[in-house]
């Protein structure tokens, strides 16, 4: 059960002028579930993208990068249920073939199709099944299909993740809608997650690239469910230029900042939704590290805490076993680390002061925090002025069960 994450409603998702979407079932997933999604971008759209840093990146990631460098993208073809990763040259050929087949359906260029896959690693992509579903997919394009598309990209997700916003830029209304998927194998480092955000704003390519990079860095690259970076992670930002705003050509201008803040907020909401829907999650946990020498060491401490199985299982048990947090901070690998300056809080309850148990702390205080479904762990290092935050969840019995039975 997702942690305080309401199910989205179709009417909450706004169409973006210049974007059409379609879904179909190719039989990749069992029980006839939707497993193909097509996103069509209007001619003249600009696309920014970030991809997984996993060295064993999946074939669709390799091909998408190549295609994006070759010509302006017009389509995103997404399949769920099969990652087409760890499949070698056969996987590359399968990804290219799917792009070719879609291009034939829409009378476009193969290179204008960006392929994406998510699901089980190491299995051949069933190209024939995808080919059979493409006519229905291409004929079903509609501007109002964000809701169905958000469901179509899901794998172990229990809820679809999508959000819309509208902002006014120099008197002109601009729409932004985004969707993402992800529940396990989540430690994006770009980022299993996929994210697609579209706006009708007019934005230059350099500014669009910068907006996506910064938004991802403060959202999708600050979450972790289990510390595993997927082979298939990707996040795409599309600007169709269909709105009436003057083209945004400088990131520091007020118009750019208005749009960027909306994109960044959507990215954060989608990233948080992934954690709230983490496999088997019962807790949503914010880990903030303050007064570090730089943001890198703040993240180093935060991720050490976030990735500790002992802390994550204590969170699941609602056990205020603060010794596990202290131990994780101590092994985080900081150089010249003075533990006597460390202070640790559970929400507003101080559990460690000056590297030792806080005076007046009681087990009942810690228990009152750990009983909550949303918890903040704050670590104060007293080494500098830098701060950073990551978000994670607990490890429950269901996390083990979901991943033990993933291919069953």
Q: Dig out the tokens for 185 from the structure.
A: 């194998």
pLDDT at position 228: 52
* 211, 48 Cβ separation under 8 angstroms: yes
Which CATH topology does 10-276 take?
A: 3.60.70
Is pLDDT of 186 > 50?
Answer: no
pLDDT at position 188: 47
Contacts of residue 249, defined as CB under 8 A and 6 or more positions apart, other chains included, come to 204, 207
pLDDT above 70 coverage of the chain, percent: 95
- Active-site residue among 23, 118, 177, 192? 192
Q: Dig out the tokens for 92 from the structure.
A: 């590359």
Section 394-403 average pLDDT: 83
What's the pTM value of the predicted model, to 2 decimals? Answer: 0.92
Fold: same for 10-276 and 284-404: no
- pLDDT per position as a tens digit, 371-383: 999 999 999 999 9
- pLDDT per position as a tens digit, 48-98: 999 877 767 789 999 999 999 999 999 999 999 999 998 999 999 999 999
- pLDDT per position as a tens digit, 187-239: 545 445 799 999 999 999 999 999 999 999 999 989 987 655 445 678 999 99
Q: Which CATH architecture has domain 284-404?
A: Roll (3.10)
> What is the DSSP pairing of strand 356-357 with strand 349-353?
antiparallel
Q: Residue 130, Cβ neighbours under 10 Å: how many?
A: 25
Angle at the Cα of 153 (from 261 to 375), degrees rounded to 5? Answer: 55
CA dist 46 and 248 (Å) reads 12
- Which helix (H) or strand (E) segment holds residue 205: the answer is helix 205-217
pLDDT at position 183: 63
User: How remote is the C-alpha of 202 from its chain's centroid?
Assistant: 24
In eight-state DSSP terms, residue 223 is B
- pLDDT per position as a tens digit, 335-350: 999 999 999 999 999 9
Is pLDDT of 36 > 60?
Answer: yes
Confidence of residue 280 (pLDDT cuts 50, 70, 90): confident
* 199, 236 Cβ separation under 8 angstroms: no
* 305, 329 Cβ separation under 8 angstroms: yes
Is pLDDT of 144 > 70?
Answer: yes
Domain ranges in the chain are 10-276, 284-404
| 288 counts as catalytic | no
Average pLDDT, the chain: 93
């Amino acid at each position: 059960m997702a942690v305080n994450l309401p199910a989205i409603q179709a009417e909450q998702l706004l169409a973006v002028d210049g974007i059409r979407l379609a879904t179909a079932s190719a039989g990749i997933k069992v029980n006839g579930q939707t497993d193909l999604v097509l996103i069509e971008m209007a001619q003249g759209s600009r696309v920014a993208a970030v991809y997984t840093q996993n060295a064993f990146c999946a074939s669709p990631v390799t091909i998408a990068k190549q295609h994006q460098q070759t010509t302006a993208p017009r389509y995103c073809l997404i399949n769920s249920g099969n990652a087409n990763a760890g499949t070698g040259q056969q996987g590359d050929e399968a990804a290219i073939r799917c792009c070719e087949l879609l291009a034939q359906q829409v009378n476009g260029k193969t290179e204008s199709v960006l392929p994406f896959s998510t699901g089980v690693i190491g299995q051949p992509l069933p190209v024939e099944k995808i080919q059979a579903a493409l006519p229905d997919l291409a004929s079903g394009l509609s501007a109002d299909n964000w809701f169905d598309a958000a469901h179509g990209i899901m794998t172990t997700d229990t809820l679809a993740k999508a959000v819309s916003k509208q902002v006014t830029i120099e008197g002109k209304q601009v729409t932004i809608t985004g969707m993402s998927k992800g529940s396990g194998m989540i430690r994006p480092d770009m980022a299993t997650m996929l994210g697609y955000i579209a706006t009708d704003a007019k934005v230059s390519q350099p500014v669009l690239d910068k907006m996506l990079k910064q938004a991802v860095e403060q959202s999708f690259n600050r979450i972790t469910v289990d510390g595993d970076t997927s082979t298939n992670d990707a996040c795409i930002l599309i600007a169709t230029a269909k709105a009436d705003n003057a083209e945004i050509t400088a990131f520091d201008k007020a118009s750019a900042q208005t749009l960027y803040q909306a994109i960044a907020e959507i990215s954060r909401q989608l990233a948080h939704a992934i954690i709230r829907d983490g496999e088997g999650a019962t807790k949503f946990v914010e880990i903030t590290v303050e007064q570090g020498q730089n943001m890198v060491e703040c993240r180093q401490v935060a991720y050490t805490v976030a990735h500790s199985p002992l802390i994550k299982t204590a969170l699941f048990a609602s056990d205020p076993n603060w010794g596990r947090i202290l131990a994780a901070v101590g092994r985080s690998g900081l150089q010249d680390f003075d533990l006597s300056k460390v202070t640790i809080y559970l929400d507003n309850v101080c559990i460690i002061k000056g590297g030792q148990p806080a005076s007046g702390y009681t087990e009942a205080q810690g228990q009152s925090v750990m009983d909550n479904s949303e918890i903040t762990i704050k670590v104060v290092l007293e080494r500098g002025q830098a701060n950073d935050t990551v978000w994670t969840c607990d490890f429950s019995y269901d996390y083990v069960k979901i991943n033990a039975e993933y291919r069953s």
